Amino acid sequence: MRQIFFDTETTGLQAEGGDRIIEIGCVEMINRQLTGNNLHLYINPQRASHEDALRVHGLTEAFLSDKPLFSQIAEQLLEFLAGAELVIHNAPFDIGFVNAELKRLRKPPITDVVGSVRDTLLMARDMFPGKANSLDALCRRLEVDNSNRKLHGALLDAELLAEVYIRLTRGQDSLVMDDSGDEGSDSNEFRVAAVDLRSFQLPVPQASEEELAAHEKVLLELDKASGGKRVWKASEQISA
């Protein structure tokens, strides 16, 4: 299965209100293994970002001024995404922005191009109901290192999402996968054969005469030091 972990940065929150995409990050995974075939694009939105959005991503109007327009990268993006499953955290937000950009170019929605869309926010809410399920919260909960995430960045966030997704769906500690599995089977699951412990006879070591004598000597010394108040005396007499 070919999956693309997808994230965008935008000038604001309102796709239908004129806000635009300024950065796209795509991380490719095939059969649960990262391929390194990623796509990272900066885009000139031809407008300034809202102050709140700028504090989140740090991509200034000056930095983006010489970057291509969305119309210039649209075909490259669609070709890269074609047929894949998009994995997105809070998918309606990113899908809404991509579709708004495509609509301006009189192109069909992104869902006509990709195979399917999976929303990891919905997955996380099912697994951790009532808890914070932002990407940062999931990184902390699933022990994914996001120490480099000082500002939001589309490619970095897509890479973090890939690691979060692996842990959400398998609980493993890294993206290092064995490649010996048969795609038609559930061979990526780790199974342990059941063992009947009744078949084992556990050895019971016995103390030697010297060890018993040394033990009794220690008990007598403790009894003397406590003034004859050794608490296990009573239990020994009762059991006798």
Query: Are residue 145 and residue 227 in the same domain, yes or no?
Result: no
15 plus 129 within the same structural domain: yes
Tell me what pLDDT residue 205 has.
Answer: 79
pLDDT at 215: 83
Q: Determine, yes or no, domain membership for 118.
A: yes
What is the span of the domain harbouring residue 105? 2-170
Q: Which of 50, 57, 152, 215 is catalytic?
A: 152
Count of Cβ atoms closer than 10 Å to residue 196 Cβ: 6
User: Domain total for the chain?
Assistant: 2
Residue 215 annotated to the active site = no
Note the pLDDT of residue 137.
93
pLDDT on residue 186: 45
User: Tens digit of pLDDT per residue, the chain (240 long)?
Assistant: 999 999 999 999 999 899 999 999 999 999 999 999 999 999 999 999 999 899 889 899 999 999 999 999 999 999 999 999 999 999 999 999 999 999 999 999 999 999 999 999 999 999 999 999 999 999 999 999 888 776 678 999 999 999 999 999 974 444 544 444 444 444 444 444 555 556 566 677 788 888 888 888 888 887 777 777 666 655 555 555
Residue 213 pLDDT: 87
Instruction: Give the pLDDT of residue 22.
Output: 95
The reported pLDDT for the residue numbered 148 is: 75
What secondary structure does DSSP assign to 104-137, as a single string? HTT---GGGTSSEEEEHHHHHHHHSTTS--SHHH
User: Residue 164's pLDDT is what?
Assistant: 94
Asked if residue 193 belongs to a domain, the reply is no
Say whether both 85 and 145 belong to one domain. yes
DSSP secondary structure of 172-232: -SSS-------TTTTTTS-------GGG---------HHHHHHHHHHHHHHHHHTTS--TH
Assess whether 133 and 40 both reside in one domain. Answer: yes
Last residue in a domain, options 124, 144, 170: 170
Looking at the structure, tell me whether residues 23 and 119 fall in a common domain: yes
The answer to whether the predicted template modeling score (pTM) of the entire model surpasses 0.85 is: no
Q: Are 230 and 166 in the same domain? A: no
Question: Are residue 18 and residue 110 in the same domain, yes or no?
Answer: yes
Q: Which CATH number does the domain housing residue 6 bear?
A: 3.30.420.10
Task: Specify the pLDDT at position 166.
Answer: 93
